[in-house]
Structure 1
Amino acid sequence: MDTLDELTLGLRPKGRSLLTADWLLAHRDGGHVLHRRGELVIEGNRVLYAGPRFDGPVARRIDFGAALISPGLIDLDALSDLDTYSLVLDNQPGWSRGRICPETYTPYEMYSQGELAFQKRYSFATLLLNGITTALPIASLYYREWAETAAEFDAAADAAIDLGLRVFLGPAYRSGGTVVDRDGAFHMRFNETRGFAGLAVARDFIRRRAGDGGGLVQGLLAPDRVETNTPALMQATMVAAEDLDVPVRLHMAQGKLEVETMRRLYDATAAEWLVSLGCFNSRLIAPHGTHATDSDIGFYADNGVTIAHSPLVSARMGSVLKSFAGIRKRGVNIGMATDTAPPDMWMNMLAGLIACRIADGASDAALSADFFDAATLGGARALKRPDLGRLEAGALADIAIFRLDDPRMVPTVDPITTLVLGGNGKITEAVFVDGRLSMCRGQVAGMDMVQARAQAQAQFDGLVAKYPERSWRHPPLEQLFRPSFPII
């Protein structure tokens, strides 16, 4: 029997590799199935076999023991910057602390191009550490002059290829944004010319980079938030999506301010507005859905729109999807998204399970398997990629190995239930993407994680120091972010 140590981090093993463990999650007849001591055979970038004993020749056999061999997780809204929400978790309201720009602030790029490139590379590495093999990156525009740039996304594409992460990429753009005046009132400010310029940048990026890295890099149109886009820009976006054959991610039905803004501007919900524009279709991936009305959910179902569910982010802001189980029963596809740091999908599955059962008032409203399906098959459906999110012959070899013998976890009964209830991203032992070993025991190909962690902290501290500039009434830093307890 061979060992994982014999594989080279960052390379695709030559010949056939047989992986086995106490549990294998394979795919059959449209759904996941569990095999005790199952065997997975990969060759090149594809799965050759997934099931019970394989009798053919292989170059190596690696036994992971007390572990689950799983399809890699799919993150439809994966944070690709240094998460600033921790600053306002206990310092509310968030809008007064840099999350909505005051009229007295003139936006500028608070990060250098090198810092923008680093934060994406670092975030991509943390996704791999957590068993995420396919990601649709998302970053805040709060600290940006207006929109994301081609240069930073060229760097992001290069980083994904170097690290070995499958990504759907496109610079975010918008035609407007919210500002707050001195009295605390919110106003929308639009510049449609800049919005269309951003769409042009995104189109050009996708045409240049989609397919790079042997297919690791694919295109995505990302018109930021629904309220920050004009009707013309949304319609042009959906036309471009058809032309480029790419998904569109649009944040909508995610908060009270958005609901109020859409009602004031268009006397409609986000879903009603998009339907009226002819922009609500199966290309759309829509985080977060927590403020969608009952009739809105009908529009999602009728038009094939996917909800990207980030239960942890939603819950810590006081909202839940109403409800995960009920919406799925109405035929809406739901994929999972972390949208925060750490990008721990197991933590999100547990948070989602708890939130769903509370929302429905029933302990059996949803099961662990339902959330795992959303984190794999739901994401694959959203992306129209039947070669992702499953382990079966012909699928891409995107694989995560999750330990089941961590002493801090509950004893294993069913592997999925065990991991949802007691697991977290730290029990990810290894990750293969496109057949290549991208992460092994906390090490990521092409990344010194200890050095990168120190660099990330220094970069974050530099950003925090600038917060008074873009916070309402510009208070000093010590008034913006108070410690949990007095520091003496």
Structure 2
Amino acid sequence: MADGRETGRVLMTADWVVGHENGRHVLLPRGEVVFEDGAILFAGHGFEGEVARRIDCGRALIGPGFVDLDALSDLDTTVLGFDNQPAWKKGRVWPESYMQAGPREMYTPEDLRWQKRYAFTRLIRNGITTALPIASLFYREWGETWDEFAGAAEAARELGLRVYLGPAYRGGNTYVTDAGEIAFHFDEDRGLMGLTEAIRFCETFENTGGGLIRTMLAPDRIETCTAPLLSRTGRAVRDLDVPVRLHCCQSAFEYHSVVRMHGKSPPQWLRDLGFLSPRAILPHLTFLSGLNDIDHHAPDLEILAESGAALAHCPLVMARGGTALRSFARYRDAGMTIGMGTDTHPPDMVLNMQVGLMTARIADRDPQAVRASDLYDAATLGGARALGRDDLGRLAPGARADITVIGLDDPAMGQVLDPIQTLLLSGSGRDVRTVVIDGRIVMRDGVIPGVDHAALRDGAQARFDGLVAQYPDRTFGHPPVEEIFAWTYPVKRASV
């Protein structure tokens, strides 16, 4: 291989191939995909040219790599809040005492770099070929750092993952007062310094690593940003021509907080600040006017659709929290670009498509409202469209050779009438066999070269245990760990 890519033309075939013609995916029984120098040359039947290598994947589905617009890049803490609520009592919001004492980093700089590489291996293992990393700022002193994202770029280059990177920044945070109420603290100068560093990061790292490393701006949740921070971010997006991601309309608390502080709904406020554009990627958007019990006169969905902004749909993490889009069909029919994000562990895009399909049908009480193709399109074409990349998310001549091979041979998969429908019925990210990114085979038969999964697992658990031990200090009332995180059932240990 030259520069990690396969040398010469490589032809891949399987029982099913997802090709692309006339603007939409097509299914090719016993189809063929040919790539060379990182690009797709052919997707169809009966390739007549010479090839250097043939790979028959057998009973499998060859499709475009998944695009993850909200890809977990730290140690996931969903399990900590899974059955431990409300969040403000369980350390998910800083207590006033912790904030006044001065928030601190809960991971070492080495841990922060380590966890990026760890998370990137999980993404590849699940067939994700393009990722926009996301991590929680709950455990940070304030924002993300240049050093950890330089480490993220290094890890992505080493593993061969296509990424859009940018350290997250914010102008404020929420905290729990001594009276048990949620309040806001803002430090606008600190937020603007974070934006300056993020711009410098974009200027330094954009289109490096042989084109695998791209950049983005990543202001944190909308309610923790000030008007100058968001308006200046919007200008920087136009100047740099990079995507921008902002978590928005993901809770009733956030929505009502923005209305109270700014007198406008979140979409109205973003529009009036000049933030919205086709470069904007907005995770969740679960709470809009007229939806999910939000009673507001603003035409939120229309504002977002007209702006060209994209939804990063993360159905698994939202369903775990008891919410869902109402509904996928309504956003689709309004003309919004819909891509997918995983945003939690496992970063299983197949599971997210499955949950997304089920919650969409439940929301409309109609099994015909949304089809398997809607979710598969979102995980491939929609994510590519959100990034302004017509060379991703499809297997067509000229597209980048980002390919995911998903096995259909496990008896647990069941019978195959249509491979996409079967995948969304009974598939899993664990069924991903082989991953190609930019013409490099970065995982073959479940093996990522140079990656010791057992060592990564043990390292993640040790760092997770260290994080949990710090929770009493950052939890309202400072209870002991065993009161913050209750066992599912009483634990009876062996007597000594």
Q: TM-score, normalised by structure 2?
A: 0.96
From 22, 38, 47, the equivalent of 1:45 is 38
Q: Does 1:276 align with 2:272?
A: yes
CA, structure 1 residues 406+9, in 2 after alignment: closer, same or farther (shift >3 Å)?
Answer: farther
CA, structure 1 residues 73+39, in 2 after alignment: closer, same or farther (shift >3 Å)?
Answer: same
Give, as a single letter, the amino acid of the residue that structure 1 aligns with 2:375.
F
Q: Is the 8 A contact 2:170 2:224 kept in 1?
A: yes
Q: Does 1:422 align with 2:418?
A: no
Give per-residue Cα distances to partners, 1:304-341, cap 9 Å, x unaligned. 11010001111111111111011101101110000001
What 5-or-longer segments of structure 1 have no aligned partner? 1-7
Tell me what 1:245 maps to: 241
From 161, 185, 201, the equivalent of 2:181 is 185
Report how far residue 10 of structure 1 moved: 9.4
From 190, 194, 207, the equivalent of 1:198 is 194
Q: Does 1:342 align with 2:342?
A: no
Q: Does 1:69 align with 2:65?
A: no
Distance 1:268 1:320 in 2: 23
Tell me what 2:294 maps to: none
Q: Is the 8 A contact 1:199 1:237 kept in 2?
A: yes
Q: Does 1:353 align with 2:349?
A: no
Report how far residue 263 of structure 1 moved: 1.8
Distance 1:242 1:185 in 2: 38
Tell me what 1:123 maps to: 119
Residue 412 of structure 2 aligns to a residue whose secondary structure is coil
Tell me what 2:457 maps to: 453
CA, structure 1 residues 218+435, in 2 after alignment: closer, same or farther (shift >3 Å)?
Answer: same
Report how far residue 280 of structure 1 moved: 1.6
1:55-454 correspondence to structure 2 within 5 Å: 55-105=48-98, 106-294=102-290, 295-454=299-458
Tell me what 2:482 maps to: 478
Distance 1:246 1:93 in 2: 37
Residue 444 of structure 1 aligns to a residue whose secondary structure is coil
Give, as a single letter, the amino acid of the residue that structure 2 aligns with 1:188.
F
Q: Is the 8 A contact 1:27 1:33 kept in 2?
A: yes
Q: Is the 8 A contact 1:10 1:438 kept in 2?
A: no
Tell me what 1:23 maps to: 16
What do you get for the CA RMSD once the two structures are aligned?
Answer: 1.2
Give, as a single letter, the amino acid of the residue that structure 1 aligns with 2:193.
A
CA, structure 1 residues 423+10, in 2 after alignment: closer, same or farther (shift >3 Å)?
Answer: farther
Distance 1:57 1:167 in 2: 32
Report how far residue 74 of structure 1 moved: 0.3
Distance 1:176 1:444 in 2: 39
Give per-residue Cα distances to partners, 1:116-148, cap 9 Å, x unaligned. 001110000000000000000000000100000
Tell me what 1:3 maps to: none
Report how far residue 445 of structure 1 moved: 3.0
Report how far residue 442 of structure 1 moved: 2.4
Q: Is the 8 A contact 2:78 2:345 kept in 1?
A: no
Distance 1:331 1:76 in 2: 19
Distance 2:36 2:276 in 1: 39
Report how far residue 252 of structure 1 moved: 0.4
Give, as a single letter, the amino acid of the residue that structure 2 aligns with 1:250.
L
Q: Is the 8 A contact 2:60 2:407 kept in 1?
A: yes
Q: Does 1:33 align with 2:30?
A: no
Residue 285 of structure 1 aligns to a residue whose secondary structure is strand
Residue 408 of structure 1 aligns to a residue whose secondary structure is helix
Q: Is the 8 A contact 2:5 2:440 kept in 1?
A: yes
Give, as a single letter, the amino acid of the residue that structure 2 aligns with 1:326.
R
Distance 2:283 2:413 in 1: 31
Distance 2:404 2:2 in 1: 14
Report how far residue 9 of structure 1 moved: 13
Residue 390 of structure 2 aligns to a residue whose secondary structure is coil
Distance 1:256 1:10 in 2: 49
Q: Is the 8 A contact 2:40 2:399 kept in 1?
A: yes
Q: Is the 8 A contact 1:9 1:438 kept in 2?
A: no
Q: TM-score, normalised by structure 1?
A: 0.97
Give per-residue Cα distances to partners, 1:402-421, cap 9 Å, x unaligned. 00111211211101001111
Give, as a single letter, the amino acid of the residue that structure 1 aligns with 2:93.
I
Distance 1:143 1:111 in 2: 8
Distance 2:136 2:445 in 1: 30
Report how far residue 260 of structure 1 moved: 2.1
Distance 2:390 2:41 in 1: 15
Give, as a single letter, the amino acid of the residue that structure 2 aligns with 1:347.
L
Give per-residue Cα distances to partners, 1:334-375, cap 9 Å, x unaligned. 100000011001111110111011110101110111100000
More moved, 232-241 vs 91-100: 91-100
Q: Does 1:466 align with 2:470?
A: yes
Distance 1:87 1:393 in 2: 45
Distance 2:174 2:199 in 1: 25
Residue 413 of structure 2 aligns to a residue whose secondary structure is coil
Q: Is the 8 A contact 1:325 1:356 kept in 2?
A: yes
